[in-house]
Amino acid sequence: MTKSQNHTKTVKDYIRTIVDFPHEGIMFRDVTTLFSDPCGFRMAVDQMLHPYAGIQIDKVAGLEARGFILGGAIAHQLGAGFVPIRKKGKLPGETIEQDYKLEYGEATIELHKDAIQPGERILLVDDLLATGGTADAGIKLIHRLGGDILACSFIIDLPELGGRKLLESKGMNIDILCEFDGL
């Protein structure tokens, strides 16, 4: 495909599906193919930040790990700071933590205690919204530090898993670039 033909593609067209990964019956939506294509990556970042052009955003918070890739690029374009929300034990400074449920157990994410100041306007980003557990835990951390979450932005939604409904039930504004059926 030539560069002139790329304008007809959508973000969804750049995302590869890997069948039975990491377990049988799972359709893994792989955004590495989106990230590795300069047109696809630019398209995704531009579409994720577009609703916030001209709106004051102090910081973009990215959920580990693909949210870091998106969050850094979006924060740069918006002229905002970037805050990583990481798995437990990965941040070197003083942190607060939040447990959340996974399909197969529990996990914990952390945020530096000084990462967000009360009243700062935050955009939370990640690549995929499934059950909403990780995003909900990130929202709780940001709120505990007094941050005001303007919205949560994702490339992919898996609507059957209910994450969007969960976050909207908690008053969150949600932006999604594309949806995939199934798990």
User: pTM here?
Assistant: 0.93
Is 29 marked active-site? no
Over the stretch 29-88, which tens digit does the pLDDT of each residue have? 999 999 999 999 999 999 999 999 999 999 999 999 999 999 999 999 999 999 999 999
Dihedral sign (CA 89, 92, 97, 100):
negative
Of the candidates 29, 66, 86, 164, the residue annotated as catalytic is: 66
- SS3 state of residue 52: helix
Scored b (16 or more CB within 10 A) or e, 68-101 reads: bbbbbbbbebbebebbbbbeeeebeeebeebebe
106 is catalytic: no
Q: Which residues contact 170 (CB under 8 A, 6 or more apart)?
A: 136, 139
Helix axes 38-49, 66-78, angle to 10 degrees: 60
pLDDT digits (tens, 9 = 90+) for 76-127: 999 999 999 999 999 999 999 999 998 778 999 999 999 999 999 999 999 9
Of residues 103, 160, 168, 179, which has the active-site annotation? 103
Fill in the DSSP letter of residue 99: E
